[in-house]
Amino acid sequence: MISSPMPDISYRVYSHTFKLDPIVRSLLDTDVYKLLMLQTIWKERADVPVTFSLINRTQSVRIAEEIDEAQLREQLDHARSLTLSKQERIWLAGNTFYGTERLFSAEFLHWLKTYQLPEYELRVINGQYEITFEGRWADVTMWEIPVLSIISELRSRAAMQPINRFELDVLYARAKAKLWEKVLRLNNLPELRIADFGTRRRHSFLWQKWCISAMQEGLGDKFIGTSNVLLAGQLDVEAIGTNAHELPMVEAALAQSDNDLLHSPYNVLKMWRRTYDGNLLIVLPDTYGTNTYLKHAPDWVTEWSGFRIDSKEPIAGGRELINWWKQRGVDPNEKLLIFSDGLTVDKIEQVYHEFHGKVRLSFGWGTHLTNDFRDCATKQNDALRAISLVCKVTHANGEPTVKLSDNFHKATGPKASIDHYRTVFDQKPVDEGAVEV
């Protein structure tokens, strides 16, 4: 894929006259972990009926009062019209991911050749958009990233619509300076490894592209890639990502007994390993609580390359994993810890100084990279502040799905189901950090 020149973002925002300015330009404008999971789903659980739902965890923000419904439907409908181009299919088939050629099988790519996003249902309830996607798991799962990036960018567009030409120049100049100061701070960390994980809640596609380019320029080899497949191709960087909570949530919903439920997260690892190996063997342990996950983990889990710490307080989570490896006779310096939850520069520096030299270390930097416009506008504009918006699988095979998380604020599912899962997984209350993004 060939990169286009970097546009003047503020001028584009102010003066564009397109009838429809697409937010999602390609099916590859998504996170690579969605394609990696899709291949596993397609092989193992393609026909499981599922429902995905948009969830706004920042209830104080009434999205339906910020975003025009007609514009939202236009963007969703445009995303549904997309298929992979011949050039994109060739790139997926021939590119090397994680040092592996032909990571995606010929059979999977043949199926993906005609893939399009399925239908959606949209309603407005109490100032919020309720958007649901129902169907076969292999068909529905790819909606997660497009719907989140569409709503995030539509919020940005609505917030900037009243801003005049020169104020927009100042807004983006301040945002660029703010990001560059972060990059300079990060560049002071020797042997740092950091990637862009900011697609889902980005300010805009063009802004994410600028952020990645700035990271390339300012960090050099310390910047290891982006989760966004399209931008990885355009900017000639690695596509970085592994897997997410969606897999264990569906597998748990399929469990026939409490014992099956308790051990369902490890079934996910077995399925994953039937397709991937090496650096893609990264465990995400917090779906039903990290403590219980590690307590019941089979010995072969120690053979995996590393863990991604998501919802647990990062210092506590990192120490817990290092101790777990040591107790099992494993040298932590041979293992990888990936931190990715709500990372600010302050938090990255804190985690880096705690664990550098004790374990292989990597960071996935998300919303605070690609959507941090706080205090950048010349006038107070809260609509430019990122919110905690997610799109989760909410039902599978007719059963409600549940995510407990290490942070109780992030739990999803009906209360009765959450209570049952907490009993099965023996999850105790923990210190709950505020959920900002």
Angle (CA) 186 188 194, round 5°: 35
| pLDDT for position 13 | 73
Could you tell me what percent of the chain has a pLDDT over 90?
84
Instruction: Check whether 398 has a pLDDT greater than 80.
Output: yes
| Tokens encoding 241 | 């990502």
Instruction: Select from 252, 210, 54, 24 the least CA-distant residue to 140.
Output: 54
| pLDDT for position 10 | 77
The amino acid that residue 140 corresponds to is: V
The amino acid that residue 203 corresponds to is: H
* Residue 247 near residue 308, CB atoms below 8 Å: no
Residues 26 and 88: their CA atoms lie apart, in Å, by 9
**pLDDT, tens only, 203-233:** 999 999 999 999 999 999 999 999 999 999 9
| pLDDT for position 379 | 80
Residues 212 and 233: their CA atoms lie apart, in Å, by 12
| Tokens encoding 90 | 């060739």
- Of all helices (H) and strands (E), which one includes residue 308? strand 306-309
How would residue 96 be classed by pLDDT, with cut points 50, 70 and 90?
A: confident
| pLDDT for position 4 | 58
Instruction: Check whether 18 has a pLDDT greater than 90.
Output: no
Q: Count of alpha carbons within 13 Å of 140, Cβ hemisphere only?
A: 28
Cα 117 off chain centre by: 18
| Tokens encoding 269 | 């690892």
Instruction: Check whether 432 has a pLDDT greater than 70.
Output: no
Give the start-end residues of each E strand in 128-245.
128-136, 194-196, 223-226
* Residue 251 near residue 44, CB atoms below 8 Å: no
Which alpha helices (H) appear in 356-392, and where do they start and end? 367-370
| Mean pLDDT along residues 125-153 | 97
Query: Helix/strand/coil (H, E, C) string of 150-172?
Result: HHHHHHHHHHHCCCCHHHHHHHH
pTM of the model: 0.93
Long-range contacts of 150-153 (CB under 8 A, 24+ apart): 150/23, 150/24, 150/72, 150/75, 150/76, 150/79, 151/54, 151/63, 151/67, 151/72, 151/389, 152/200, 152/201, 152/202, 152/203, 152/371, 152/386, 152/389, 153/23, 153/202, 153/203, 153/204, 153/205
Handedness of CA 71, 437, 186, 169 (dihedral sign): positive
How would residue 7 be classed by pLDDT, with cut points 50, 70 and 90?
A: low
**Burial category of 29 from C-beta neighbours within 10 Å (exposed 0-12, middle 13-18, buried 19 and up):** buried
The amino acid that residue 233 corresponds to is: G
**pLDDT, tens only, 23-50:** 999 999 999 999 999 999 999 999 999 9
The amino acid that residue 281 corresponds to is: L
**pLDDT, tens only, 326-340:** 999 999 999 999 999
Residues 115 and 110: their CA atoms lie apart, in Å, by 9
| pLDDT for position 144 | 98
